[in-house]
Structure formats: structure tokens, C-alpha cells
Structure 1
Amino acid sequence: MTLSLRPLLALVACLWLLPARVEAAERPARIVIDPGHGGAKEGAKGPGALREKEVALQIAHRLRTKLEAAGGEVHLTRERDTLMSLTERVSMTNDHGADLFISIHANSMPTPKMRARTEGVETYFLSANASGEAALAVADRENAEAPVARAARGDSTLALILEDLVRTEAHADSSRLAYSIHPKLVARTKAADRGVQQAPFFVLSGVECPAVLVEVGYISHPEEGAKLARGDYQEKLAEAISEGVLAFLRESRRRDASRPAQVASPGAR
């Protein structure tokens, strides 16, 4: 009698473990959206009173709504117009155990001539070496709020961190995420395609998950800046980023299907 019960007990034990495994497998993707700047740090300036910090926050809220509707667990690094350091943004992201990090920004040019002619979208992932001088200039501007001065780009500690990051799966996935989002941005908005770029952004350097920084357009351009202030255009941007994120998660889920516990993409049933 005792021997005949052993298979049944083994089955009960397996069934006892099953709910925990199913729950782990179906956990929604945990996504942190980072609206750039905030508070006294206004970011780039656009037509009239338009500021980068406002545009980034508005798009971030729209993006959160779309990703939550798809089943994601979404957190914003700032919910309103508040000052938050880059270090705090990184720490918050890691504390949440994020699966993805998306930083939203708007670009700018310094001179009237360049402001009048430069427009388009760019999507960045972290690299110790920038794609070019223009990409490095964008990183320098966004890193102005970092606790490390611009002149310290070659600091040995930061260089070691970046070199180590290059070898991680998160870095490879950051590239994949950028290439998943960017074409959808161009297709949805019909904006000028300034490509997927690499640069040493401080806010991306400490995040322990795939991370990208999206420059949604040039707020300094007279026409594109005006578009960035419009709700319908912000919806297009949010929809494009959401589509790119969901496509990335679906691809990652298929790739990781053999692993014992995966992150389910939003919208998965």
C-alpha cells in the first residue's frame, strides 16, 4: 500500500510547485519610463514656452497608458514636474528590478541656422564610444546633470564599467531594443531618420537591464518643435515606442522559451 502511494505523492508534490512556476512564467514585463529632466532642469527649449521636460513627461504618460493596456507593469521615474538626479533615476530603475528602461528626451541645436534645418528622431543605446561627434554632443548635453563632469568622460572607473557592460547580455539586448523601436518611430511619425546611435549616456550606464534613450525629435526646429507640443503627434510617438517594446518582448520571449522562468510580454495570454 505504501509503495502504491509513492507515485501519487510525487504527482501531488509536482502540482504543488506548478502554480509558482506558472506565476513566474507569466509575470508581466516590468518597464521603467524615464521622462528626461524636470524641475529646475528644463532641458532643451522649443518655440515659445515649450520645454523638453514637459514634452518628455507628456509622452511618458501616454506611453505608460499604452504599455499598461497591453498588460505591462510600468513605472515612471518622475510623475510630475519634479527635480530628480540621474543617479536617483538609475537607482530607482534597479530597485524596481526593471526588465526594460526607456529614457525620453527631445533634442536641440545651439545656433539659429542649425535650429532651422536640423530635425528628426534618434534612438540611442550605451557605448563607451559614440557613433560620431554629433552623438557625443547629444550625450554631453544630456550628461550635463550627471555627478561626473564632462571632462571626466575618460575617467578610468567609468571606462571600466562601460567596457564590462559591452560584454553583458543586457548591452546586446539594448541594441536589439533600439533597433526594434527606431524603425517604428520613423514609420509612424514620418520624421527624418537620424538612425540608431551609440553614446556614453550616464543614465544608461548604471541600469541593470536593456536600456535605450529616445530623442523624439528636435524641439528647437520650428516645425518639429511645434509638432512635439501636439497631443496627436505625442500619441504617434507613444504608439511607435510601445509597438517597438512589445515586438522586442515577443522576440525575447521566443528566444528565452527554453528557460525555466521568463518574463511574459505585455498582452500575452
Structure 2
Amino acid sequence: MTLRLLPLVGVLVLLCLPSSSRAAERPARIVVDPGHGGDQEGATSPTGLLEKDVSLQVARRVRDHLEEELGAQVLMTREEDQSLPLPERVEFSNKQRPDLFVSIHCNAMPTRRTRARVQGIETYFLSASASNATARAAADRENAEAPASRGGRGDSTLAFILHDLARTEAHQDSSRLAYAIHQKLIAATGSSDRGVLQAPFYVLNGVEAPAVLVEIGYISHPDEGGRLARAEYQERLATAITEGVRAFLAEVRRRDSPKPAKVAAPATP
């Protein structure tokens, strides 16, 4: 009788495990979002290199590394040079029920003086207010493609949603993911460390998973813009992002794995 019950007991134990523990047993599902596309070209380098092209090239490399090295299931918001509105990127991501979301962009400065001077990598996660003027400028530039009714990001409803979001585990994990990726990027590239920052990026708002936006460099800088065009440098970026994702997933799986039950010591006579 006992032997017949063993398979049933095993099934019951599996069903009682937390869903996060069962998720840890399957390949990670990751949405990679190449910024811009189609008639939305993004920023431009001094030699005419377009952000939309660099972001797609790097995103494809990230996808390949995630699949080959982590065995992840990777879904791209766009696979080619096509226009894709920001709301559709969020909607697509949530339909996939991903474990995390990574949006890839290149940064830029507006004036000749700042274009010649400013370079480096920034990694963002969502916040109702920007960390500083640089973060605000980056969000404003990337949000320029957002629907006009929500592009301003200043309404009280959004502020309330983001305030509530700050208390969720997904938002805390977004911070952890941002730091994990950023540290690997700086170590791998030697690029100027412009920090992990927070800003109200449209594409991060509403994603129902840990979500980050990576500005992989200033395409407007004469030297960094040139590096972003090179396959070898793109490979370094993609490998670093993959290693950051690997570190984040390992941390989450350790945290969410079932803890062994404590057994009371037998009472001494």
C-alpha cells in the first residue's frame, strides 16, 4: 500500500513547490528589445552610423549568446529594421510572460562640445523621477517616440502607479538586474562608468517582469561611436550582457530555491 502511494506523494510535493522554484527548472524566458527601427532611427554617429542598426546588431548577438551559453528562450521585439511603437513592445513582452526584459540603446549628446567630450555606459531601471539631468535627458530622448497622450509622463496616475511599483519584487529585481549587467559591461569594455540610474522610460513602464534599459555607449562620441560599429566590440558588449543576466538568474534561483526544513534536535534525556 505504501509503495503505491509513493508516486502520488511525489506529485503532491511537486505541486506544493513555489511557482518560482518550478520556473527555475525550466530555461529562462527573456525578451530582448532592440531600440528604435524603421523610420525611427534614433541617434546618429559622426560618420552616419544609426542607433537603430547598432541596437539591432548587438541585440542579435545578445540573443545568440543567451541561447548558446544559458540555454535561454529568447524573444526579440523586432528581428529586422521595422517600426515598432513603444506600447506594442510592452504588450509583446507581457504576452510572452518573460523572466526578464532587456532593452538595448545607444546614447547621444546634443551639442558639438558635449558630443566630443561625453562617452560611457549607463544602465537604467524604472523610476517615477530621473536620477539626475543626464537620466532625464536620456528618458526624454527615448520617450520621444511615445504616444503624445502619455509622452510627458507627468500625470498623477502614472506617478501613483510607479510609486506602487517601487514596492514590488519585480522592481527590486530590476535594480539587481541593472547592477549585474552594468558591472559586467564596465569590466569587459573598460568604458567610462556613468552608473546605474533610474528614469521614467516608457518602454520599461508596464513590463510585468524585471526590466532594464542599457545605453551601451554614446554613438555621438567620435571614438565610442566608432567602437560601437565594430563586430569585435559588439561581441564584448553582448558577452558582458549575457554574463550579467547569468549572474542575476543565479542570484534569483538561489533566493527562490526551496529551503530545507529545519529538523528539531532530539530532546536530551
Normalized against structure 1, the TM-score is what? 0.90
Supply the RMSD in Å over aligned alpha carbons.
Answer: 1.9
- State the alpha-carbon separation in 2 of the partners of residues 57 and 124 from structure 1: 19
Candidates 6, 9, 28, aligned match of 2:4: 9
| Equivalent residue number for residue 221 of structure 1 | 221
Contact map agreement 2:124 2:214 (CA 8 A) in 1: yes
| Equivalent residue number for residue 25 of structure 2 | 26
Q: What 5-or-longer segments of structure 2 have no aligned partner?
A: 260-269
- State the alpha-carbon separation in 2 of the partners of residues 24 and 196 from structure 1: 28
- State the alpha-carbon separation in 2 of the partners of residues 150 and 24 from structure 1: 34
Contact map agreement 1:46 1:221 (CA 8 A) in 2: yes
Contact map agreement 2:99 2:210 (CA 8 A) in 1: yes
- State the alpha-carbon separation in 2 of the partners of residues 197 and 257 from structure 1: 29
CA shift, 1:108, in A, is 0.3
Contact map agreement 1:143 1:150 (CA 8 A) in 2: no
| Equivalent residue number for residue 124 of structure 2 | 124
| Equivalent residue number for residue 59 of structure 2 | 60
> Are positions 1:94 and 2:94 aligned together?
yes
Change in 2 beyond 3 A, CA 1:255/1:192: same
- State the alpha-carbon separation in 2 of the partners of residues 35 and 85 from structure 1: 12
Contact map agreement 2:143 2:151 (CA 8 A) in 1: no
Matched residues, number:
255
Instruction: Give percent identity, aligned residues only.
Output: 61
CA shift, 1:148, in A, is 3.9
Contact map agreement 1:31 1:74 (CA 8 A) in 2: yes
SS at match of 1:106: strand
Query: How does 1:45-194 map onto structure 2 within 5 Å?
Result: 45-69=44-68, 70-148=70-148, 152-194=152-194
> Are positions 1:254 and 2:249 aligned together?
no
Contact map agreement 2:186 2:193 (CA 8 A) in 1: yes
Q: What 5-or-longer segments of structure 1 have no aligned partner?
A: 260-269
- State the alpha-carbon separation in 2 of the partners of residues 45 and 25 from structure 1: 40
CA shift, 1:180, in A, is 0.6
Amino acid at match of 1:132: N
- State the alpha-carbon separation in 2 of the partners of residues 18 and 155 from structure 1: 47
- State the alpha-carbon separation in 2 of the partners of residues 240 and 202 from structure 1: 25
- State the alpha-carbon separation in 2 of the partners of residues 138 and 25 from structure 1: 34
CA shift, 1:15, in A, is 4.3
- State the alpha-carbon separation in 2 of the partners of residues 104 and 12 from structure 1: 46
- State the alpha-carbon separation in 2 of the partners of residues 24 and 123 from structure 1: 26
CA shift, 1:149, in A, is 5.1
Contact map agreement 1:45 1:52 (CA 8 A) in 2: yes
Q: Deviations over 1:108-154 (max 9, x none)?
A: 00111110011000000001111011110100000011114577322
CA shift, 1:178, in A, is 0.6
- State the alpha-carbon separation in 1 of the partners of residues 239 and 130 from structure 2: 28
Change in 2 beyond 3 A, CA 1:150/1:118: farther
Change in 2 beyond 3 A, CA 1:16/1:174: closer
SS at match of 1:93: helix
